[in-house]
Amino acid sequence: MFNSSFAITAAALLLTAPAAVANAAEPDAGSFTYQGVKYDYTAEQQGDVKVLKGSAYAGKVPFELRVNKRTVTGRFNGRPVSFDVKDVKPIASKAGTLAD
């Protein structure tokens, strides 16, 4: 069950995460809910790339996104995803929870 809007939404949430993530030596862990599904993730800065690894559907659906200045690439549930960062729409969040 792949939904590219998930990847774009997840990237939007995580791209707007506090800058402290970019400077952290340890991966930053978090979670959010989108359309009733909880997503758990870690975010780690590796040079110019932010790597987002996590899972959805109670750990059954893995994802990994690599975000650089221009693109987001990776896999969600074993399927490749790729889109431009400019396609990511800003979203508002409260304490890591994304409203539907």
* Residue 87: how many other CB atoms lie within 10 Å: 12
Sheet of 61-67, strands arranged across:
28-34, 37-46, 49-56, 61-67, 71-76, 79-84
Domain membership flag for residue 93:
no
Partners of 37 in the β-ladder: 34
Residue 7's pLDDT is: 64
Residue 78's pLDDT is: 92
* Residue 11: how many other CB atoms lie within 10 Å: 22
The per-residue pLDDT for range 32-66, each reduced to its tens digit, is 777 788 889 999 999 999 999 999 999 999 999 99
Contact between 79 and 6 (Cβ < 8 Å): no
Domain membership flag for residue 97:
no
Domain membership flag for residue 72:
yes
Residue 88's pLDDT is: 75
Residue 32's pLDDT is: 79
Domain membership flag for residue 99:
no
Q: How confident is the model at residue 100 (pLDDT cuts 50, 70, 90)?
A: very low
The per-residue pLDDT for range 75-97, each reduced to its tens digit, is 999 999 898 888 876 655 544 44
